[in-house]
Amino acid sequence: MFSVNTLFFSCRHTSSLATYVRKKMLYMKHRNKKNVCIIYGQEASKVADLKTSPTITFNLKREDGTWFGYREVEKLASLSGIHLRTGCFCNPGACAKYLGLSHSDLVSNFEAGHVCWDDNDVIKGKPTGAVRISFGYISTYQDAEV
């Protein structure tokens, strides 16, 4: 059974890892100075706060401004032994909000054949989901460097 101190230190540890990775992701730039990572649900001004969630939801952009599809990221990560989640995480409303998808975008995506768990990760130049990484009490800074 976990004590209150164990839970406190576990939360502090996972928040610290996530804060470390968020900062690294925010500072990643292409040669043209454009961001590589777009992080959702976390204000950049609050990244230093160690009370942040140990979960980071994001998408990646190419240097030309087009999106890497989340399925592409998932497949490449799995080749390196990295486990992550992709898609809308069973929350299509929040997904649409953070991705900036309008009602007509959602209808158009559905008409194009997009459903949960498919490979249609970018439709008409917009992502249809995101990538999510999470840290647990057993995660290390070495894991965060991968």
Query: What is the full per-residue pLDDT of the chain (146 aa) written as tens digits?
Result: 556 677 778 888 999 999 999 999 999 999 999 999 999 986 655 555 556 789 999 999 999 999 999 999 999 999 999 999 999 888 888 889 999 999 999 999 999 888 887 889 999 999 999 999 999 989 989 888 86
Strand 130-134 versus strand 85-87 pairing type = antiparallel
Torsion 105-107-108-113 (CA) sign? positive
The tokens describing 146, both together, are 């991968």
Question: Is position 88 annotated as part of the catalytic site?
Answer: no
**Among the listed residues 79, 70, 76, the one whose alpha carbon sits nearest the alpha carbon of residue 122:** 70
**Among the listed residues 82, 119, 121, 77, the one whose alpha carbon sits nearest the alpha carbon of residue 99:** 121
Q: What is the per-residue pLDDT for 56?
A: 94
Q: Which residue has the tokens 């999510």?
A: 132
**Among the listed residues 84, 81, 63, 64, the one whose alpha carbon sits nearest the alpha carbon of residue 73:** 84
Q: Residues 98, 41: contact at Cβ < 8 Å?
A: yes
| Catalytic entry in 11, 37, 88, 90 | 90
Strand runs labelled E in the chain: 37-40, 55-60, 85-87, 122-123, 126-127, 130-134
C-alpha of 85 from chain center: 8
**What is the pTM for the complete model shown?**
0.86
Main-chain phi, psi angles of 82, to 5 degrees = -100, 130
CA angle 102–123–133, rounded 5-degree value: 85
